[in-house]
Structure 1
Amino acid sequence: MDEKKTPLLDELEKGDWPSFVTEIKRAAAKNASAADLLAQLETSYENKEGYWKHGGIVGVKGYGGGVVGRYSSQPEKFPHVREFHTFRVNQPAGFFYTAEKLRQVAAIWDQYGSGLFNLHGSTGDCILLGTTTENLQPCYDALTECGFDLGGSGSAMRTLSCCVGQARCEKACIDSMNIIRELTLHYQDAIHRPAWPYKFKIKVSACPNDCAAASARSDLAVIGTWRDVLEMDQDAVREAVDGGFDIFNRVIRKCPTEALEWDSGKRELKITAEDCVHCMHCINMMPKALHIGRERGATLLIGGKAPVVKGAMIGWVLVPFIKMEPPYTEFKDLVDKITDWWADHGKNRERVGELIERMGLSAFLEAVGLEPLPQMVHAPRSNPYIFWKAEEVGSHG
């Protein structure tokens, strides 16, 4: 391909970190759409104006989701990105690929698209950037033959994702990868056929360290935790302290609820179990001495999202503890109740957390059949007046 000068984009290659510009240039050397992408992007930097039109959802046979339509607003100037649709390919749980499979996907995308990848998008998918409408179906057919399915896009359940969990992490409280596989198979229709007010994301982190960032990036976050007391190896604690570990400043003072205490006389670390919120800090600081408990399950959070209609929201507790064991019937039933209520009452492009904020937590809990719990309090009450229904209060005769 003819090399076009891109002085503004070249500046983005001068830092210490790898640059997406470098990768586009590599693709542009053999792909016309990547070359026009580079030229259009340079023009956007020159004129301080974006040149993409959102094309809504374009699809393949039987699928309403999984392909994001995108068109250039300057097709005469950049004809090879006149259409630049994006495939969202459902990634394997925990992002485990074989080199052979990645080579197969790369070969398919070199044949039908721009050759540009994004591993991975914020939803989790393997993102294939840039193809034409006529190449959508043959590309999808080739991906299916290779063993891959499309993820979610549009107003659907988005591709479910998780951390590596028990595959590599000793702190895992639940089998995050099995959960994602089971839910992905169960919710195929919701993933591929958009039918809701807006997107709905489920992410799973196997422990409270939340390596999948589920609490901030998903409408329903599953965070692995334990219900009993964390386990302590007092000999290992003493060994760390005798070795110079500053247990007071690095652990005791950092406990958010002051649940830990160092008994210097007995040379023991003590915990007030009811005050522990399972934040993982002490375990992260002393992994040899402190371990997760044995009664394991998950906490469910509701309402996390990035800003669109309203500002960014962090998920708040919906279910303090649930046993996440196959076939996850209790969890699936709750998801169905949540999405049914949201589908009935949500406005266009209104996320479920925004709907709860608009209609009130009490209405939501009543609809999904959950009892109010102290852990569900998202923020302290700002209204000093308390109202209740007459049937909720006993007789005062």
Structure 2
Amino acid sequence: MALKHATPMLDELEKGPWPSFVSDVKRMAPKSAMCEDWLGVMELSYREKEGHWKHGGIVGVLGYGGGIIGRYCDRPDLFPAIAHFHTVRVNQPASKYYTTEVLRKLCDLWEPRGSGLTNMHGSTGDIVLLGTTTDNLEPLFYELTHEMGMDLGGSGSNLRTPEGCLGKSRCEWSCIDTQDLIYDLTMEYQDALHRPMFPYKFKFKASGCPCDCVAAIARSDCSIIGTWRDKIRIDQEAVRAYVGGELVPHAGAGGTEKRAFDINAEVIDLCPTKCMEWDGKNLKIWDEDCTRCMHCIRVMPRALRPGLDTGATILVGAKAPILEGAQMSSVVIPFMKMEPPYGEFKEFVEKVWDWWMENGKNRERLGELIQRLSLREFLKACDLTPDARMVNTPRFNPYIFYDPAEVPGGWEHDAVAFRQRHQA
């Protein structure tokens, strides 16, 4: 079936080695006028080098201030089927576990109510339903909640949909139950999720271990990273098996074949704090110097495991804007036990929100407010004591200044002791 709109520029995007979104939309076009006109407006945008979407009008569903992003086309004369093209965000299940039955029901619900196009998933994690009209919003919302038991996600100046990694359901390294935590936070903060009340957006993301598979440290206003505060568990026999070529290390270009493994070159020398030593028979780790980077555990998973006294490191202030560049989050609580009902964590969160809502400017993220008023003021508001672990190089950090003479032992003393220990 021939398309209504010629798309020579979009066609070029189908010629590369990778799957193309253009092909996906073309498959939908024969049964969706919205998809046909969407192809037309995209071709026009490519040709004129100008976007033809506008974000205007307040659209939503009764009782909610978020979850629907209003989209309109500024050329309804050429593309009437997408005069309205609103986006619906749906709160994804924890860790994005679905049954095929649920996915089929979601698609069956969406196709007659919208364009049929979906995005699995948005950067916050939501199921994104792309393109519907204002008169379809309430019926769609009713069917979504009453027939599927699902809810809208966050949009606007509110709590965005909390997101977490697979956690203990699939990962042997997970130090916290990310699924339970994310579900608990989602249910606890429903008002903040559905009714805009903040200066700008706020995101929780939880990773079960320092590998940070959901990139929380780069993308969330509050990052919850599973960690441990006792010693890394070591199986010395397995370490020797890796060195002897009996086990396959997860490093280098060796693939899945057994090979000679240089533990010094591939593990010891790559440790950021040089807290490890191999004497030819046993691996020694000075855990007090370990920064939990996980490199050694990733390379030798059958020999090394996280400790048993587990909890989370709490960081704040990340964002990943396109124009201004990324801002990574900063450690504010090096270790917190993270167990239901998460009372200590929620108490911290509510102090953060109170300070941010009182001092934040319109469209100012938490990290930007901390930059403007200082980490010192943030810590005071949250009743937190400054700690050297909150910063990377304390004497060079613009937020907090440490005088070596005021630190027990002094930084120079610690550095000398460190070098002497590793030279011995």
Shared fold (TM-score, shorter chain, > 0.5): yes
Structure 2 letter corresponding to 1:214 = A
8 A Cα contact 1:57 1:65, kept in partner:
no
Alignment-derived partner of residue 364 in structure 2: 350
Task: Confirm whether residue 159 of structure 1 aligns to residue 161 of structure 2.
Answer: yes
Structure 2 letter corresponding to 1:177 = Q
Q: Judging changes above 3 Å, is the alpha-carbon distance between structure 1 residues 134 and 385 closer, same or farther for their aligned structure 2 residues?
A: closer
Alignment-derived partner of residue 199 in structure 2: 197
Counterpart selection for 2:297 from 283, 286, 306: 283
Alignment-derived partner of residue 330 in structure 1: 344
Alignment-derived partner of residue 227 in structure 2: 225
- How far residue 55 of structure 1 moved from its aligned partner, in angstroms, is 2.4
Alignment-derived partner of residue 319 in structure 1: 333
Alignment-derived partner of residue 392 in structure 1: none
Q: Judging changes above 3 Å, is the alpha-carbon distance between structure 1 residues 372 and 187 closer, same or farther for their aligned structure 2 residues?
A: same
Structure 1 letter corresponding to 2:106 = V
- How far residue 310 of structure 1 moved from its aligned partner, in angstroms, is 4.7
- How far residue 306 of structure 1 moved from its aligned partner, in angstroms, is 1.1
Worse overlay, 353-362 or 54-63? 54-63
Query: 1: CA distance between counterparts of 2:401 and 2:41?
Result: 57
- How far residue 383 of structure 1 moved from its aligned partner, in angstroms, is 6.5
Q: Judging changes above 3 Å, is the alpha-carbon distance between structure 1 residues 208 and 384 closer, same or farther for their aligned structure 2 residues?
A: closer
Counterpart selection for 1:250 from 256, 260, 266: 266
| Unaligned 5+ runs, structure 2 | 246-259, 404-424
Q: SS state of the match for residue 55, structure 1?
A: coil
8 A Cα contact 1:224 1:296, kept in partner:
yes
Matches within 5 A, 1:1-397: 3=3, 4-55=5-56, 57-145=58-146, 146-243=148-245, 244-264=260-280, 267-307=281-321, 310-377=324-391, 380-381=395-396
The Cα offsets for residues 307-352 of structure 1, whole Å up to 9 and x where unpaired, read as: 2685320111011000000000111111111011101110111000
Query: 1: CA distance between counterparts of 2:398 and 2:85?
Result: 50
Alignment-derived partner of residue 250 in structure 2: none
- How far residue 5 of structure 1 moved from its aligned partner, in angstroms, is 2.0
Query: 2: CA distance between counterparts of 1:348 and 1:237?
Result: 54
Q: Judging changes above 3 Å, is the alpha-carbon distance between structure 1 residues 385 and 345 closer, same or farther for their aligned structure 2 residues?
A: closer
Query: 1: CA distance between counterparts of 2:296 and 2:29?
Result: 49
Structure 2 letter corresponding to 1:197 = P
Q: SS state of the match for residue 154, structure 1?
A: coil
Structure 2 letter corresponding to 1:137 = E
Q: Judging changes above 3 Å, is the alpha-carbon distance between structure 1 residues 383 and 135 closer, same or farther for their aligned structure 2 residues?
A: closer
Query: 1: CA distance between counterparts of 2:261 and 2:287?
Result: 23
Query: 2: CA distance between counterparts of 1:43 and 1:366?
Result: 53
8 A Cα contact 1:309 1:349, kept in partner:
no
- How far residue 29 of structure 1 moved from its aligned partner, in angstroms, is 1.5
- How far residue 74 of structure 1 moved from its aligned partner, in angstroms, is 1.1
Q: Judging changes above 3 Å, is the alpha-carbon distance between structure 1 residues 228 and 171 closer, same or farther for their aligned structure 2 residues?
A: same
Structure 2 letter corresponding to 1:347 = K
8 A Cα contact 2:25 2:117, kept in partner:
yes
Worse overlay, 50-59 or 245-254? 50-59
- How far residue 79 of structure 1 moved from its aligned partner, in angstroms, is 1.0
| Unaligned 5+ runs, structure 1 | 389-397
Query: 2: CA distance between counterparts of 1:103 and 1:31?
Result: 18
8 A Cα contact 1:60 1:136, kept in partner:
yes
Alignment-derived partner of residue 393 in structure 1: none
Structure 1 letter corresponding to 2:396 = R
- Matched residue pairs, number? 386
Q: Judging changes above 3 Å, is the alpha-carbon distance between structure 1 residues 383 and 85 closer, same or farther for their aligned structure 2 residues?
A: closer
8 A Cα contact 2:391 2:397, kept in partner:
no
Query: 2: CA distance between counterparts of 1:210 and 1:321?
Result: 16
8 A Cα contact 1:58 1:68, kept in partner:
yes
8 A Cα contact 1:57 1:64, kept in partner:
no
Query: 2: CA distance between counterparts of 1:77 and 1:117?
Result: 24
Q: Structure 2 length as normaliser, TM-score? A: 0.88
Q: SS state of the match for residue 278, structure 2?
A: strand
The Cα offsets for residues 144-198 of structure 1, whole Å up to 9 and x where unpaired, read as: 1211100000000000011101010001100000000000000000000001110
- How far residue 57 of structure 1 moved from its aligned partner, in angstroms, is 4.7
Aligned-CA RMSD value: 1.8
Structure 2 letter corresponding to 1:16 = P
Query: 2: CA distance between counterparts of 1:344 and 1:2?
Result: 57
Alignment-derived partner of residue 395 in structure 1: none
8 A Cα contact 2:164 2:179, kept in partner:
yes
Query: 2: CA distance between counterparts of 1:386 and 1:213?
Result: 29
Q: SS state of the match for residue 377, structure 2?
A: helix
- How far residue 13 of structure 1 moved from its aligned partner, in angstroms, is 1.1
8 A Cα contact 2:376 2:399, kept in partner:
no
